Copies of this chain bind each other. A is one copy, B any other.
């Protein structure tokens, strides 16, 4: 990897001259009527608010959101947050960019996770579920998106490859936990873990920034997954020549549409099978472990034993007694 200073490493008053990913650029007047350029600069470690004073329209037009840019300037602590005061911003040449600096997960990590996921799913013994999983695994377009998509806009696994990361983690939990409960069907739990968020590949747009697609906003990934499953079921039936039992398809769909666990979180139905109950709780566990770890680890305030208060969680998180 390059010898850059990652965003998360930047301290107060550092001189910077390196490549960033640009987004959210705006040209705005200050209170004296002078224009300045405001934007976000990011790499795989995080993002930093940036201002370039005394900018003009040609500065504004010199690059697009989503471009890699070379930025010179200095950092400054402002109202408790680090910001960057830029002196120069220009579009980067391809040879100046190391893509690995901008991906939370490296290609080899993703490949390794994808291989492990395939291995886990190929361990499914129920023939119909096995065939169904296979139809997804061999769909290159789907898997291409599945391995690039994030698991969310923010909160947890919000990075390229985050969906795969989360789904694999959930499958590993399923492998560990299922054998402990004799009435729990491991194959159903695995296929549920694999498909529960699968329509996030189309619910979110994530080529560079992460945002909701129109369909994602209007239907949501749980409803969108219905069509994906219907299509793949037909494909699996064509492939094997055997119809998949309608009740089994129904259970798989139920796993998907009930996995948020409560109506208040957009679940169209409450979990009504053992596997649906387990999927909801294990999904919740994996998501919360990831997001709470991140909130604790990323907390910039080294003087408190607590993170800030998070309104959506209605609590602060305990970081532990700081060493002095």
Q: Tell whether, in the assembled complex, residue A217 and residue B268 are in contact, meaning their CB atoms are under 8 Å apart.
A: no
In the docked arrangement, what's the CA distance between A181 and B289, Å? 7
Q: Tell whether, in the assembled complex, residue B289 and residue A223 are in contact, meaning their CB atoms are under 8 Å apart.
A: no
Residues of B within 8 A of A282 (CB): 285
Residues of B within 8 A of A37 (CB): none
Residues of B within 8 A of A220 (CB): 268-269
Q: Tell whether, in the assembled complex, residue B266 and residue A264 are in contact, meaning their CB atoms are under 8 Å apart.
A: no
Of the candidate stretches A105-113, A135-143, A245-253, the one touching chain B is A245-253
Q: Tell whether, in the assembled complex, residue B272 and residue A218 are in contact, meaning their CB atoms are under 8 Å apart.
A: yes
In the docked arrangement, what's the CA distance between A318 and B212, Å? 13
Whether A85 sits at the interface, judged by CB under 8 Å, is yes
Whether A281 sits at the interface, judged by CB under 8 Å, is yes
Whether A3 sits at the interface, judged by CB under 8 Å, is no
Residues of B within 8 A of A172 (CB): 180
Query: Which one, B80, B85, B257, contacts A219 given CB within 8 A?
Result: B257
Whether A296 sits at the interface, judged by CB under 8 Å, is yes
The answer to whether residues A217 and B274 also contact, given A227-B226, A264-B264 and a CB cut-off of 8 A, is: no
Query: Which one, B177, B218, B247, contacts A269 given CB within 8 A?
Result: B218
Q: Which residues of chain A in 168-223 are interfacial with respect to chain B, using CB atoms and an 8 Å cutoff?
A: 169, 172-173, 176-177, 180-181, 183-184, 214-215, 217-220, 222-223
Q: How many copies does the complex hold?
A: 6
Q: Tell whether, in the assembled complex, residue B214 and residue A247 are in contact, meaning their CB atoms are under 8 Å apart.
A: yes
Residues of B within 8 A of A296 (CB): 183, 274
Residues of B within 8 A of A28 (CB): 77-79
Contact string, A233-270, partner B, CB cutoff 8 A, digits 1/0? 00000000000001100110110010000011111111
Q: Tell whether, in the assembled complex, residue B184 and residue A269 are in contact, meaning their CB atoms are under 8 Å apart.
A: no
Whether A2 sits at the interface, judged by CB under 8 Å, is no
Residues of B within 8 A of A318 (CB): 214, 217-218, 251, 254, 272-273
Q: Distance (Å) between the CB of A74 and the closest chain B CB?
A: 10
Contact string, A17-56, partner B, CB cutoff 8 A, digits 1/0? 0000000001011110100000000000000000001000
Q: Which 5 pairs of residues, A with B, have the shortest CB-CB distance? A: A176-B176, A281-B285, A226-B226, A218-B254, A183-B293
Question: Would you mind naming 12 contact pairs between A and B with Cβ atoms under 8 Å apart?
Answer: A169-B180, A214-B250, A214-B321, A219-B257, A222-B268, A227-B230, A247-B321, A270-B314, A274-B296, A277-B285, A281-B288, A285-B285
